[in-house]
Amino acid sequence: MKSVVLTIGPPQQKPWWWQHVPAAGRTSGLEYKRVPGVRAGTTMQLLLLTLKLAPFMLGASRKYDYIFTFECGKASFIVSLLQTITLSRKPRHIILQFIMREKGRGMKSRLKYLFMRFCFSSTYKAVCSSREEARYYVDAFGWAPDRACFAPLHTDPALLDVCRPVEDRLILSAGRTFRDYKTLLSAIEGLDARAVIVASPGCIAGLNVPENVECLFDIRPAELTDIMARSEILVVPLEGRRISTGQSVLLQAMAMGKAVIATRTSGTIDYIVHMENGMFVEPADPAGLKEAIDMLLKDAGLRKRLGENARESVRKMFLPEHYYNNVKDIVKTAKGL
């Protein structure tokens, strides 16, 4: 079986996770192809990239059994659209970490979903980062139940060995998509602790930021890793959504052995077992969040136990090799093997 992972963007070496794909996968027909992007307006860019990829897809239909793309990036759209228009189903297209904003009530959102339903009608499998999210796309696109599948997201194994002196009573929260910083700021106000929020300015705009909170915007990944390593607690405050967000930051902190508190939503329930490797709070519940933070601040033993269990969860379930094997199992199941 021959397969190719396709991405679009500036020329680069293979992505960090490629080296963690089991050697058997990299030597038994799995290839990686990076297609350079083009400079143009959005519509023209997609048109030029489609023309650029058309010959590749023609050859791919004879060379590969499967083609993998990521999320709802340009490669996913173009491969899906080309296969839909040409009525081609070879190679079988699998979109990894599939994610789209939820369908809104407005006409623009409805038209977008109508187009997406047409575009992705040729997609063989959409692999999602949460079970609830997979069910949402089945409902939204009218797919067969097995069209959208679940494979837990992964994180960098190097984070398992990151170690820094921990700063007493330092709380970190990070991320931009569908974050509920209003609830977090309300919960932190008045606590005897210091908090750092790493986000973009739009996430905090119009919110009252207490004196014990520092906001950092669009910092480098290495800086975020350093702050995370020095923190005692990570909080992931999320809006209640059916699509999944928050796992990247969550898994990074878990890999570093941090005590984590997260909103109980679609994006977190497949990763945390309450009071075993993390803590849950309900959406939009500042009082509950304050209570959870205060509990962890006062109980070093609980922080240590949750953090150690979190790291072990990552070691056993949430590394690139696990993701590779989970996707491999999805393909095998679909083939009836």
137-151 pLDDT, tens digit per residue, is 999 999 999 999 999
Same structural domain for residues 90 and 161? Answer: no
Mean pLDDT across 268-281: 98
Same structural domain for residues 18 and 140? Answer: yes
Same structural domain for residues 167 and 246? Answer: yes
pLDDT at res. 26: 66
Same structural domain for residues 180 and 306? Answer: yes
pLDDT at res. 11: 84
Same structural domain for residues 83 and 194? Answer: no
- Choice among 25-39, 107-121, 153-167, 222-236 with the minimum mean pLDDT: 25-39
Mean pLDDT across 248-255: 98
84-109 pLDDT, tens digit per residue, is 999 999 999 999 999 999 998 899 99
Q: Give the CATH number of the domain where residue 305 resides.
A: 3.40.50.2000
41-67 pLDDT, tens digit per residue, is 778 888 889 999 999 999 999 999 999
DSSP 241: -
Same structural domain for residues 126 and 16? Answer: yes
Same structural domain for residues 136 and 203? Answer: no
- Distance CA(78)–CA(49), nearest Å, equals 8
Rounded-to-10 torsion of CA 269, 149, 9, 317 = 50
Domain range enclosing 107: 3-153+320-335
Contact in structure between 120 and 141 (CB atoms under 8 Å)? yes
192-217 pLDDT, tens digit per residue, is 999 999 999 999 999 999 999 999 99
- Choice among 44-58, 158-172, 260-274 with the minimum mean pLDDT: 44-58
Same structural domain for residues 147 and 193? Answer: no
**What is the number of structural domains in the chain?**
2
pLDDT at res. 12: 81
pLDDT at res. 337: 47
CA angle 264, 187, 160 (to 5 degrees): 55
- Distance CA(140)–CA(117), nearest Å, equals 8
Same structural domain for residues 122 and 175? Answer: no
Mean pLDDT across 223-227: 97
DSSP, residue by residue, 197-229: EEE-HHHHTT----TTEEEEES--HHHHHHHHH
DSSP, residue by residue, 4-21: EEEEESS--SPPGGGGGS
Same structural domain for residues 161 and 273? Answer: yes
Same structural domain for residues 96 and 166? Answer: no
Same structural domain for residues 97 and 208? Answer: no
pLDDT at res. 124: 97
